Structure 1
Amino acid sequence: MSNWGIPIPETLFSIDPDDIEQQIDLLGGAPLIIKIQEGTHGLGVILAETKKSAKSIIDTFYKMDTNILMQEFIEESNGEDIRVFVIGDKVVASMKRTSGNDEFRSNVHRGGRTEAVKLTSKEEFMAINAAKHIGLGVAGVDLIRSKKGPLLIEINASPGLQGIEAATGVNVAKKIIQFVERNCRKK
């Protein structure tokens, strides 16, 4: 995404168990986010608040032969992110998700609250182009707002509808079906 001008948090794939400390330092140290590559609904996303805990978590994943990536922690996002639903070449709905309780993840499945949100033109551009660059006709694009501006944190190829329709009043499922019907006719 960075190559296409879409900003992301500092990120690296962790592949060498012998230089965990250097990997953490490359991201600016703790706190940092550790993600397993097969996670869903916020599962497998861990906030390591200290370097010691980060090393322990990463070492455990290595021993379990689990692929992980690490990202800088964007503290100013305050447990909020934005889910943008892109269908074709346009944004059809967007919501802000705010974490609940003592949770840092804002996923609805983790107790996050939702509300409709107005995107900036840059956020809309980022979401549409992120989906386009990886070839998705339907995508849930997750962004966070940071001191550096909006950052892309994830693109979901099969995003859930939980929360987005209630928060926005948009029948996203219907829009997906209409998109599929239009594109099946073209082929």
Structure 2
Amino acid sequence: SLAEAFRGVKAHFLMQEFVREAKGSDLRAFVVGGKVVATMMRQAREGEFRSNLHRGGSALRVKLTREERATAIRAAATMGLGIAGVDLLRSDRGPLVLEVNSSPGLEGIEGASGIDVAGVIIDYIERCARRRSR
């Protein structure tokens, strides 16, 4: 198996389950200060299962379910992050956390969501700085 081959060369690796029902799409929830401030769905291009925008995927406007929002917020909090990009998959078992990004890019999300995410981040940082200076 592939895992045995990597073990044989003593390489570090991470294996992820393939979630067929996600159909080449994932959700990005941008969490700032414990709130989901912007969302998008990334859809893979034809013939590809990875939805990364730099691989030709597209960014679409999406509304998260209450469970998806709660999962994204919980994932960011679990990692101790005030700012995070949480990638989720829609599965038959409910939302699955694909990854939590501590330094998420803004590519696609501002256009897809119509939200000035950079401005929201700046406001959050300013609020945190004011609290610390008291």
TM-score, structure 2 as length reference: 0.92
Identical-residue share of aligned pairs (%): 51
Query: Structure 2 vs 1, CA of residues 62 and 82 (structure 1 numbering), >3 Å: closer, same or farther?
Result: farther
Give the Å deviation of 1:96: 0.5
Question: Using the alignment, how far apart are the partners of 2:65 and 2:42 within structure 1?
Answer: 16
Query: Structure 2 vs 1, CA of residues 160 and 61 (structure 1 numbering), >3 Å: closer, same or farther?
Result: farther
Letter of the structure 2 residue corresponding to residue 87 of structure 1: V
Question: Using the alignment, how far apart are the partners of 1:117 and 1:111 within structure 2?
Answer: 19
Give the aligned partner of residue 45 of structure 1.
none
Give the aligned partner of residue 110 of structure 1.
55
CA contact (8 A) 2:34 2:77 kept: yes
Letter of the structure 1 residue corresponding to residue 27 of structure 2: I
**What are structure 2's unaligned runs of at least 5 residues?**
none
Give the Å deviation of 1:176: 0.5
Question: Using the alignment, how far apart are the partners of 1:151 and 1:104 within structure 2?
Answer: 16
Give the aligned partner of residue 112 of structure 2.
167
Give the aligned partner of residue 91 of structure 1.
36
- Please identify runs of 4+ aligned residues in structure 1 that moved more than 4 A: none
Give the aligned partner of residue 78 of structure 2.
133
Q: Which has the higher contact order (CA 8 A, sep 6+)?
A: 2
Q: Among 48, 54, 59, which residue is 2:5 paired with?
A: 59
TM-score, structure 1 as length reference: 0.67
Q: Among 11, 15, 23, which residue is 1:78 paired with?
A: 23
Query: Structure 2 vs 1, CA of residues 62 and 138 (structure 1 numbering), >3 Å: closer, same or farther?
Result: farther
**What are structure 1's unaligned runs of at least 5 residues?**
1-20, 22-53
Give the Å deviation of 1:148: 1.0
Give the Å deviation of 1:102: 1.8
Deviations 1:33-71 (A, max 9, x none): xxxxxxxxxxxxxxxxxxxxx35xx625863x5421112
Question: Using the alignment, how far apart are the partners of 1:169 and 1:69 within structure 2?
Answer: 34
Give the aligned partner of residue 121 of structure 2.
176
Question: Using the alignment, how far apart are the partners of 1:59 and 1:165 within structure 2?
Answer: 41
Instruction: Map 1:5-16 onto structure 2 (within 5 A).
Output: none
Query: Structure 2 vs 1, CA of residues 155 and 62 (structure 1 numbering), >3 Å: closer, same or farther?
Result: farther
Q: Secondary structure at the match of 1:128?
A: helix
